[in-house]
Amino acid sequence: MRTQHRIFLKFLLLLLVFSAGESLFARHIVGGEVTYRCIGQPDANTRRYEVKIFLYRDCFGNGALFDSDNGSSSLFEMTIFEGRSQFGTYTIPRGDLVIERLPVDVDNPCLVTPPNICVERGVYTTEINLPISTETYTISYQRCCRNETISNIINPGEAGATYTTEITPISQQSCNSSPVFNDFAPIVICANNLLEFDHSASDAQGDEIRYRLANPYFGGGNDTGRGRESFAGVTPNPESPPPYDPVAFSPGFSAGMPVDGGNPLINIDPRTGLLQVNPQTTGQFVLCIIAEEFRNGELIGFVRRDFQFNIVECDPLISASITALTGVDSVAPDLVLVCGDKLVTLVDISTDQRFIDEIQWSIPNTVIGDVNSNQRNLSLEFPDFGTFPGQLIVNPGLSCTDTADFNIVISPPSEVDFSFTFDTCIFGPVEFTGAVSTQADSIVRFDWDFGNGDRSREENPVYQYNIAGQRFVTHSVQDNNGCVFSASQILEYFPAPADLLVNVDNSMPCLPANVMFRQDLDLITEDYEIFWDFGNGVTSTELNPDFQYTEPGAYSIYVSATSPFGCFVDTQLTVPVRVLESPVAEFTFTPDEINILDPDIFFFDQSIAAVSWQWAFDSLGTSREENPVFTFPDTGAYEIDLVVSHINGCLDTTTQFLEIDPLQTYFLPNAFTPNGDGTNEFFKGTGFTRYISDFELKIYNRWGELVFETEDIDESWDGINQRNGERALGGVYLYVVNLEGLNGKEQLTGYVTLVL
């Protein structure tokens, strides 16, 4: 069995590989390729190669730096496989990492790209010696991950890339070098703009190069733990051996169709490498282009470029555009329409004026002949009606130029009028008749605006208004050139209805009865003369009056309407308006002066024509008695409501307020007998003391000695001297009372006789 050698080149960050974790997560690597160049033959069985790995990175990405782009030392590791088994490993110091920012150019110099796009290229270079083998060497670099915003592959944030090339046995024998792409494809492609790019490659030996679109390879994964040492790591160590899996394209995309459609579809000329693409959708799209090297019809090498297209909306640097002044009916990018006139003024509104050095109008067949002018405003008169071509060239003869080709359509006039007929005294339809004369080829559309939001496209419509009033009616026609001509008239539509429909709202028929009278037809408006007779000698000329009846009875209603044209209609309501008698609620109560010592209040109904009663004593209680009695629990002001009902169901309500006054009394006896017989044993004050807030009682003997004191109004003296605990002698004692109550602070003094 022959030994098959597959060599994998890898940049290792010795200081970071085992400790950097997610810092190596390469989310914004946007492309890459691998090339080799045979630079010598150390001996008959060995070839020396210069190997370059090109990586392309999004400058504004937050995920990926170039390997060793952080100042740490790095080595370039080469792993040799025999079949899929590891054969040997060689570690060689890497060459310099060269980083450069690529220019953001588009194929069209007159288009301006957005400012937030930037791509850097990092080039890793090293030299290796390889023994001549009968098998193919495969050189690969793998890394995860691609931009998450890529549109044409599934889960781009988890899909890494494999950049690879092969050194075939024929290539080894002849000390051959791989093809090298001459230039990098534009970083930005403008949507809806054809790109033609020379994506050819050069070959030092002059071999035949063929080009094709291919499927980008998957490589690496987003495992940032120990798995980074494996094929699923963000920087696999070593790389996985071939063959490599292609990325999974999203539905609608493929290796041969990596961007959205266009005319022409994306393609690359297999002989010249000319890439053509006219994308229709903005976004980021991954694709792969292979330049294959053939010698005597046999494939001996290739260079494979995996990269990302950024498709954006580009702004034109200059854009030729025109408008026109008054008298012109419409201006479109390629059409100036003038209706009924032969004079037009054209205006150059091209942008951006900062980059425009010269303009050139070209208008043939005017009254003064063919016109060529560089004026911004151009007034022209044409000899007849018809279509006249024109052209505006911006920056003629310069690299960034633009041309606006347009037609000036001078359309002949049309005269529009119309008439209408209807019966002024009958609520019926209006017949409209149009009158149109035109010099155009034809009238292609009729349009009626009836002045109330309704329209018609009929030539002579019949229309029924639902509401009377003055209407501004417009009749418009459009000719075959698109010109619109109109005529307007005021239509006075004030017919008289066949019957007057009246709605009477007498939902509250009890006195005083407020009745609402309404016309049930929207047809009748304030423009009509209205007369109402409410059946009691009172009349009104309002359209929809409200009236209050103050006497019970049955009232016959009459109403009439006269239109502005003198048409008259009236009606007498067959059902009269009935107004019912209402009771009168009234009551009195006793006593007139109320205090808390006597809170029982007697209420007496004084209502007229009442058959039932409903009393409400504030929020404390209710009663249905005619003359109830209610006991109030405390002092204060209370609202008393009485609702009475008539035998016909009508109600009346009255309300009164009463106030229960607070009261304070305090009395002391003039003698007591604390002799143990159970009668009159204690000296204590009595009375209504609820509102006394501060209290003090002191008792003195005839020598002025204090024998008893308390601040508790409920405490009594039992005849014991508080100073010595002995029974006091019989006789007369002085008492002093200090209290604070309804009348403020008071002092009461007097004498009490202690009888033994």
Q: Do 414-493 and 671-754 share a fold?
A: yes
Pseudo-torsion of CA 346, 350, 354, 358, nearest 10°? -60
Q: CATH top-level class for 502-578?
A: mainly beta
The CATH-assigned architecture of domain 414-493 is Sandwich (2.60)
Neighbour-count burial of 670, counting CB atoms closer than 10 A to its CB (0-12 exposed, 13-18 middle, 19+ buried): exposed
Tens digits of residue pLDDT in 644-683: 999 999 999 999 999 888 877 888 999 999 988 889 999 9
Answer whether residue 494 shows pLDDT above 80.
yes
Q: In the structure encoding, which two tokens stand for residue 423, read together?
A: 């019966």
Q: How confident is the model at residue 244 (pLDDT cuts 50, 70, 90)?
A: confident
- 543-557: average pLDDT: 93
Q: How far apart are alpha carbons 614 and 621 in whole angstroms? A: 11
Answer whether residue 90 shows pLDDT above 70.
no
Q: What is the pLDDT of residue 66?
A: 60
Tens digits of residue pLDDT in 376-422: 888 888 888 888 999 999 988 887 888 999 998 889 999 999 999 99
Answer whether residue 614 shows pLDDT above 90.
yes
Q: What is the pLDDT of residue 508?
A: 86
Q: How far apart are alpha carbons 462 and 604 in whole angstroms? A: 74
Q: Which residues contact 676 (CB under 8 A, 6 or more apart)?
A: none
- The alpha carbon dihedral of 121, 124, 125, 129 has a sign of negative
Give the CATH H-level superfamily of domain 317-411.
Answer: Immunoglobulins (2.60.40.10)
Lowest mean pLDDT among 8-17, 34-43, 317-326: 8-17
Residue in the block written with tokens 């190596």: 24
Which amino acid, residue 17?
A: V
Mean pLDDT estimate for the chain: 84
Nearest partner of 458 among 471, 448, 473, 450, judged by Cα:
448
Q: What is the pLDDT of residue 226?
A: 38
Provide the whole-model pTM: 0.49
Q: What is the pLDDT of residue 74?
A: 41
Q: How far apart are alpha carbons 457 and 126 in whole angstroms? A: 80
| Domain 587-660 indexed as CATH 2.60.40.10 | yes
Q: Which residues contact 575 (CB under 8 A, 6 or more apart)?
A: none
Answer whether residue 85 shows pLDDT above 60.
no
Tens digits of residue pLDDT in 343-375: 888 898 888 888 888 889 988 887 777 888 888
Q: How confident is the model at residue 96 (pLDDT cuts 50, 70, 90)?
A: low
Q: Which residue has the higher pLDDT, 20 or 719?
A: 719
Answer whether residue 25 shows pLDDT above 70.
no
Q: What is the pLDDT of residue 75?
A: 44
Tens digits of residue pLDDT in 693-708: 899 999 999 988 999 9
Answer whether residue 470 shows pLDDT above 70.
yes
- CATH code of 671-754, in short, is 2.60.40
Q: What is the pLDDT of residue 92?
A: 44
Task: Name the residue ranges covered by the structural domains of the chain.
Answer: 5-312, 317-411, 414-493, 502-578, 587-660, 671-754
Pseudo-torsion of CA 157, 162, 163, 165, nearest 10°? -160
Q: What is the pLDDT of residue 170?
A: 92
